[in-house]
Amino acid sequence: MQRRSRGINVGLLMLLSQVVHVGINNIPPVTLATLALNIWFFLNPLKPLYYSCISVEKCYQQKDWQRLLLSPLHHADDWHLYFNMVSMLWKGIKLERRLGTRWFAYLITTFSLLTGVVYLVLQFTLAELMNQPDFRRNCAVGFSGVLFALKVLSNHYFPGGFVNVLGFLVPNRLACWAELVAIHFCTPGTSFAGHLAGILVGLMYTQGPLKKIMETCAGIFSSTVGYPGQQYYFNSAGPSGYQNHYPDGRPRAYEDTHRNYDVYTAGLSEEEQLERALRASLRDRALDWRKVWLGGVVAQGVPDTVGSERKYQKWSNTLRVPTHARRRNEETAPPQI
């Protein structure tokens, strides 16, 4: 753990330029709030780093458990903040759109606490197995563990492809492990156990029972937490809404609430949405025209008889339109798509 540098925070300025370049309105709310919170605590730390970092000695032996809450939100210097928050920016945009804002907020909170707990378990285990008491005093700070957990989720939800790690193309499914080794050997002072804890938490969610446990807890304590499957679409105007999905893939009805514009766009551009709306409008007009036309024929040629639905259905199936009428209607009817 390094001391925070003094003077001009170049890393912070570069981070702000990245946020401006992406556009604040294009960043999902939880991702943006996470960036803002980390920047705030960097500029206005609640406690010095020595009293914010987590270690077995400080948390377990001295019972200072508040460090589990403070350590992810504090960074050693502006470059530490820059690299972590730029990584959070791109991972957050993808995952929050994929999982939904409420579930992503729940995920970030859970991962922030759980990576600290797993880090303490790893450090305690290494100290016991290797008979190295120094592992209990190793103190870690920063958001890196959570980012490695999100990296595992990103590779899980967006599989395939390759990533460049130190000039080598590595499959996405192995990228987090390659980055773990590369950072450990190329960046002195980083916490190998802290990053490994993040990977293990991510695997607990994608391959283990963590996701089911989180769903169960969300169902017990709140009925408003959005579950994975909610999808958001963000453009320059911010979030345009979401729609839940049933397990069988059938969409639920939209929530009709005071012009909240909760319309699921399926990731379509504005031009594609307009084209689809025009097609649907033309299709509806064609169906309305057929109903009006058939209604007129029925009113003129078929008497209304109570209890004769079956006869009417049989008659309607055998209904034939005169040639001259069919030709005239084909000339005036709107096109069907």
Hey, how many other C-beta atoms are within 10 angstroms of the C-beta on 127?
18
Angle formed by the axes of helices 10-22 and 78-99, to 10°? 20
Residues facing 171 on adjacent strands: 162
> For the residues of 150-179, what is the DSSP string, one character each?
HHHHHHHHS---EEEETTEEEEHHHHHHHH
Helices and strands, number each (H, E), in the chain: 13, 4
- Dihedrals phi, psi of 240, to nearest 5 degrees: -100, 0
Whole-angstrom distance, CA of residue 263 vs CA of residue 253: 10
Whole-angstrom distance, CA of residue 334 vs CA of residue 236: 36
Hey, how many other C-beta atoms are within 10 angstroms of the C-beta on 22?
14
Q: What's the number of CA atoms in the CB half-sphere (13 Å) around residue 48? A: 3
Residues facing 235 on adjacent strands: 238
End-to-end CA distance of the chain: 65
Q: Any catalytic annotation for residue 144?
A: yes
Pairing of strands 231-235, 238-243: antiparallel
> For the residues of 127-153, what is the DSSP string, one character each?
HHHHT-THHHH--B-SSHHHHHHHHHH
Active-site choice (195, 222, 308, 324) = 195
Active-site choice (52, 55, 71, 144) = 144
Burial class (CB in 10 A: 0-12, 13-18, 19+), 236: exposed
Q: Any catalytic annotation for residue 195?
A: yes
| Positive or negative torsion for Cα 89, 94, 95, 97 | positive
Q: Per the structure block, which two tokens stand in for 93?
A: 């945009």
Residues marked active site are found at: 144, 195
